[in-house]
Amino acid sequence: MNRSALAILQILTLIASLSRASHFTATNAWGSKNHPLAITTHHRTQQPSWNVLDCDRFVNSFLTIRGGEIDLIDNAAAADEDGILIVKTRNIIRSVLDVSEKNLPTTTRILKSLFSALEGITGVKLLPEPEKKKKSKKKSKKSAEVKSSEPAEEEKDEETAKEISSKSKTKSKLKKPSAATKKHLASTIKSTNPNYRIQRELKEFIKSPPPNLSVQVGSNLRVWIITMVGANNTIYEGESFKLRVSFPTQYPTVPPSVYFLQGHIPTHEHVYTNGDICLSLLGKDWRPTMTAQSIAVSILSILSSAQSKSLPMDNARHAGNKPGQYQKDWVYHDDNC
């Protein structure tokens, strides 16, 4: 093994010597005034070509290589197995290839072919192993990132599925327009008729129903039943309630009569157990420009903003009253009513 390494070192030294000699001879010959082509090319010698400079750098770098240190990657194990001389030979070849790859790519290919032939002759591994570990690390990082992103995607899918299921449940609880409702929508009512505005409000409600709200009308156009489903992420989520809305003869000068039907009353600090709702829009804050739909949206809003389920402080005193009376003289608990 040591004889083979000495032979390889002698070949490398010979290559370097020949390269420097040929470089020196070519430079002197072309730079001489007596050279036949000196007259036509002497102006070019003022700015040496890229190849000449790089060749000189390559030869100088090659001749100064001493074989590197023993503590390179896997050199300790290699030194025990093949000997220090073989390890240094490999380090020289690695250094030669590193230098030539930067300056002389064509020479690098020739040297690799030469070293490959020497490996076949001597049976000694000379060329460095291609680096595959870094690529595998990159691949492993990418796979780890993909794996880490999979749980997040699964969580998103679960959340989406929950949202879809909750929406489907909400839709199933909301009522579609009945035959009587469609009949009222199809009937022709003159603008002078008191029911004209009520029919117009019903058409708008059916055409663009607010979220979590639906309406049904029986034989009397002036009495509506609004189904209300608790909004998502609230304490009433998924719960179903029913509002009875009736329009007095003075409507819209006075507000409609609105209260929850028995068996469908939410437990709320502004909702009495008889179904009445403590809401100023049904009393002093009513305006003729408002609608039954806007009242229903406001009631759903106060339910959605509730943090706990509790009865009004004066529920015992009010619970026996008839629901749906005009709240003209009411004293409201707070600004949320």
Asked, for residue 140, whether it belongs to a domain, the answer is: no
- Kindly report the CATH number assigned to the domain that includes residue 272: 3.10.110.10
Specify the pLDDT at position 111.
77
Task: Please tell me the distance from the alpha carbon of residue 197 to that of residue 291, in angstroms, as a whole number.
Answer: 10
> What are the two backbone dihedrals, phi and then psi, of residue 260, each rounded to the nearest 5 degrees?
-80, 140
Same domain, 111 and 236: no
Write the pLDDT tens digit of every residue in 185-212.
Answer: 999 999 999 999 999 999 999 999 999 9
Same domain, 181 and 293: yes
Same domain, 107 and 184: no
Write the pLDDT tens digit of every residue in 225-250.
Answer: 999 999 999 999 999 999 999 999 99
Specify the pLDDT at position 3.
57
Same domain, 90 and 186: no
Asked, for residue 7, whether it belongs to a domain, the answer is: yes
Can you say whether the dihedral through the CA atoms of 319, 323, 329, 335 is positive or negative? positive
Asked, for residue 254, whether it belongs to a domain, the answer is: yes
Same domain, 104 and 215: no
Task: Please tell me the distance from the alpha carbon of residue 284 to that of residue 169, in angstroms, as a whole number.
Answer: 37
Asked, for residue 141, whether it belongs to a domain, the answer is: no
Runs of H (alpha helix) within 64-122: 75-82, 84-103, 105-122
Specify the pLDDT at position 260.
97
Give the pLDDT band of residue 74 (cuts 50, 70, 90).
very low
Mean pLDDT for the chain overall: 75
Same domain, 104 and 204: no
Asked, for residue 289, whether it belongs to a domain, the answer is: yes
Amino acid at 24: F
Among 49-53, 131-135, 269-273, the least confident range = 49-53
Among 138-142, 192-196, 248-252, 256-260, the least confident range = 138-142
Specify the pLDDT at position 99.
73
Residue range(s) defining the domain that contains residue 227: 173-318
Same domain, 102 and 205: no
Q: Count of domains in the chain?
A: 2
Asked, for residue 130, whether it belongs to a domain, the answer is: no
* pLDDT: which is higher, 100 or 206: 206
Task: Please tell me the distance from the alpha carbon of residue 101 to that of residue 108, in angstroms, as a whole number.
Answer: 6
DSSP SS3 for 310: coil
Residue 79: is its pLDDT beyond 60? no
Task: Please tell me the distance from the alpha carbon of residue 214 to that of residue 220, in angstroms, as a whole number.
Answer: 17
Asked, for residue 186, whether it belongs to a domain, the answer is: yes
Same domain, 108 and 226: no
Asked, for residue 161, whether it belongs to a domain, the answer is: no
Task: Please tell me the distance from the alpha carbon of residue 288 to that of residue 286, in angstroms, as a whole number.
Answer: 7
Catalytic residue IDs: 278
Give the pLDDT band of residue 91 (cuts 50, 70, 90).
confident
Domain end among 79, 94, 122: 122
Q: Tell me the average pLDDT across 246-270.
A: 95
Same domain, 185 and 306: yes
Statement: the pTM of the whole predicted model exceeds 0.95: no
Q: Tell me the average pLDDT across 260-284.
A: 94
Same domain, 14 and 105: yes
Same domain, 73 and 194: no
Cα–Cα distances (Å) from 302 to 226, 277, 287, 297, 305, in that order, read 16, 10, 19, 9, 5
DSSP 104: -
Residue 165: is its pLDDT beyond 60? no
Domain end among 122, 155, 188: 122
Specify the pLDDT at position 63.
47
Same domain, 193 and 313: yes
Task: Please tell me the distance from the alpha carbon of residue 203 to that of residue 198, in angstroms, as a whole number.
Answer: 9
